[in-house]
A and B are shown apart, each in its own frame.
Chain A
Amino acid sequence: MTWDTIVGLEVHVELATTSKIFCGCPTLFGRPPNTQCCPVCSGFPGALPVLNQQVIEYALRVCLATDCTINSLIRFDRKNYFYPDLPKGYQISQQHQPIGRGGKLVITTDNGDKAIGIHEIHIEEDAGKLIHDPQGKHTLVDYNRCGIPLLEIISRPDLNSAEEALDYLDKLRRLLLFIGVSDCRMEEGSLRADVNVSVRPTGSKVLGTRTELKNMSSMKAMALAIAYESRRQIKILTEGGRIRQETRRWDENEKRSFALRIKENVEDYRYFPDPDLMAIRINDHWIKNTRELLPELPDAKYQRYLTTLDLTAYEASILTSHPALADLFEATVAICGRAKDVAGWIMGEWLQECNQRACRPQDLKVTPEKLARLVRLLAEGDITRGTARQVFIQMIDNQADPDDYVHRHNLRMIRDIKTIDAAIDQAMAAHPRSVADYRAGKNKVRTFLVGQAMRVLQGKADPALLNRRLLEKLNTPD
Chain B
Amino acid sequence: MNKPLPQPLIDPKQISRVAHLARLNPDEAERVLLRQELERILRSFDRLEWPDTRNTEPIYHPHPDTNRLRPDEVQSPFDPADLIHESIGQDGFLMAPKTME
Contacts and interface: CB of A to CB of B under 8 A. Distances in A.
Interface of A: 17-19, 24-26, 32-39, 42, 44, 50-56, 73, 75, 82-84, 130-132, 136-143, 264, 268, 273, 275, 277-281
A194 to B, nearest CB: 18
B83 interface: yes
A38 B84 CA distance: 11
B21 A39 contact: no
Nearest to A273: B60
B98 A137 contact: yes
A141 B100 CA distance: 13
14 contacts: A19-B74, A19-B75, A53-B70, A53-B71, A75-B60, A130-B99, A138-B90, A138-B97, A140-B94, A141-B95, A142-B92, A278-B68, A279-B60, A280-B66
B65 interface: yes
Nearest to B89: A34
Interface of B: 21-23, 60-61, 63, 65-78, 80-81, 83-84, 89-100
A391 B94 CA distance: 52
A214 to B, nearest CB: 13
Given A34-B84, A82-B23, A278-B65, A26 B92 contact: no
Nearest to B59: A273
B93 A84 contact: no
Given A275-B61, A279-B61, A279-B66, A139 B72 contact: no
A39 B69 contact: no
Contact of B93 (A18, A36, A142): A142
Contacts of A50: 68-70
Contacts of A139: 95-100
Closest 4 CB pairs of A and B: A24-B75, A84-B96, A54-B72, A140-B93
A25 B74 contact: yes
A83 B99 contact: yes
B94 A143 contact: yes
B92 to A, nearest CB: 4
Nearest to A87: B94
A366 to B, nearest CB: 31
A293 to B, nearest CB: 15
A65 B67 CA distance: 23
B67 A278 contact: yes
A137 B97 CA distance: 8
Nearest to B23: A82
Contacts of B21: 82, 264, 268
B52 to A, nearest CB: 22
A259 B95 CA distance: 25
Nearest to B94: A141
Given A38-B80, A39-B83, A84 B22 contact: no
B60 to A, nearest CB: 5
Contacts of A140: 90-91, 93-96
Contact of B74 (A18, A42, A142, A281): A18
Given A24-B75, A139-B100, A131 B93 contact: yes
Contacts of B89: 34
A138 B98 contact: yes
B55 to A, nearest CB: 20
Contact of A26 (B22, B60, B74, B98): B74
Contacts of A138: 90, 95-98
A17 B71 CA distance: 10
A36 B80 CA distance: 7
B72 A17 contact: yes
B69 to A, nearest CB: 4
